[in-house]
Amino acid sequence: MATLPSQEVLKEPRARKPWYKVLYIQVLIAVGIGIVLGFFFPNTGKSLKPLGDAFVHLIKMIIAPIIFCTIVHGIASTGDKRKFGRVSLKTFVYFEIVSTLALLIGLAVVLYFQPGAGFNIDPATLDPKLSQKYVAEAKHMGVVDFLLNLIPDSFFSPFSSGNLLQTLLIATLVGVSLSLIGEAGKPVLRAIDILATVFFSIMKIIVYVAPIGALGAMAFTVGSYGIGSLNKLLLLMGTFYVTAALFVVLVLGSIAWLSGFSIFRFLAYIKEELLLVLGTSSSETALPGMIHKMEKLGCSQQTVGLVIPLGYSFNLDGTNIYMTLASIFLAQATNTHLDAWQIATLLVVSMLSSKGASGVTGAGFITLAATLAVVPTVPIQSLALLVGIDRFMSECRAITNMIGNGVATVAISRWENEISPAELRLHMSEDHSFKG
């Protein structure tokens, strides 16, 4: 059976490179330079925003084609429809259980530590214009709109819009169709494999400019918002970061342990992707690299192609933690009392509204606006309190989301007996980055 080019690119052994040529070290240095520039020369930091935007756009340009080729190859080359259905069911059950845990953990932490207590904010004194654009976008995130958005306007529109769920739908239809027509579809499948070679080679070129993109994005963030502007909101940020870290270590770490691998070794394995997300505040920038590395671990193309794209809409652990933390924080800050029923309603609405956040810039903040619009007890104008720190919160959301989807992919692959714990440990000790 043919292998997808992501498994062939960089297959030849490499000699160890000097430390300054290693991608994750370059990105780490770039992030540090960006922080220094943004802090001491804020105007210069703001002017570097196009560098980060350009890198994110380059990554988004290649995501949909890579997802399409990965899924089509995984479905059409195996022809195992029962496995596809079985993996799909396991994936959705896993996502709902872990996402619910993330919501509950966020709720427990914010109720216990009460970071918003004592703010005594009068919502009438807040500028509603600061949050109006997020509220406007949130109005288009209803259940019906979300379902209709699954269907693209044309076959090629997902490749221009970058909508992952629409790409997943088209790729699934194409993969199933190719497997149904059998031999007649083999030339098309070979052509798709050749295209995949091209797309992964493009990705290999793009990662060379990752440090420049990370520098520009981080310089802009610090230059625009600065540490001094965070004020008392630092407590909310600290609570969120600590909660997300505990979720990764305890919840995802337990899942990893049950699946036969260490969460810390896994984090070391995806360190390049973690730093890319940290620098750009977007988990999408790491998506091609995650697909590449999950396949290198031994996860099947079918499992990777299904779990990773779906996870970007249905397994947003970081976003779910943020949802309950931020909404209850705003209630505490505005002295808004919520009874048990209102809190339960908030949890349910948060779970549903987070599913519609795929492909939306600032999705976590917009999802929060959608939740508060449905549960109007918390003044929606209080969102203005969080506008200034959302960029910093977005980094933690994106990193947690990406780690969660990576662990989900490996765990489901283990449950499908695609790889053993010994093989996982072996592959995690190897360097499978695009630019080693």
CA distance 226 to 47: 15
CATH number of the domain at 5-428, out of 1.10.3860.10, 3.40.50.11540, 3.50.30.30, 3.40.50.10210?
A: 1.10.3860.10
Q: At 417, list the tokens.
A: 């007996």
Position 149 pLDDT exceeds 90: no
Picking from 89, 391, 99, 93, the residue whose alpha carbon sits closest to that of residue 219 is 391
Average pLDDT taken over every residue of the chain: 78
The tokens 């360097």 sit on which residue? 431
Mean pLDDT along residues 218-224: 78
Mean pLDDT along residues 323-351: 84
Picking from 340, 330, 300, 297, the residue whose alpha carbon sits closest to that of residue 432 is 297
pLDDT > 90 fraction of the chain, expressed in percent and rounded: 12
Q: At 70, list the tokens.
A: 């990965």
Q: Residue 400: pLDDT band by 50, 70, 90 thresholds?
A: very high
Q: Which of 95-109, 112-126, 353-367, 395-409 has the lowest mean pLDDT?
A: 353-367
* Alpha-helical segments (H) within 207-316: 210-225, 234-246, 253-259, 263-269, 271-280, 287-297, 301-314
Picking from 421, 371, 363, the residue whose alpha carbon sits closest to that of residue 394 is 363
The answer to whether 198 touches 7, Cβ cutoff 8 Å, is no
CB neighbour list of residue 288: distance below 8 Å, 6 or more residues apart:
59, 62, 63, 66, 200, 203
State the pLDDT at residue 229: 47
State the pLDDT at residue 291: 86
Q: Which of 216-220, 264-268, 275-279, 359-363 has the lowest mean pLDDT?
A: 359-363
CA distance 411 to 409: 6
Q: pTM for the whole thing?
A: 0.75
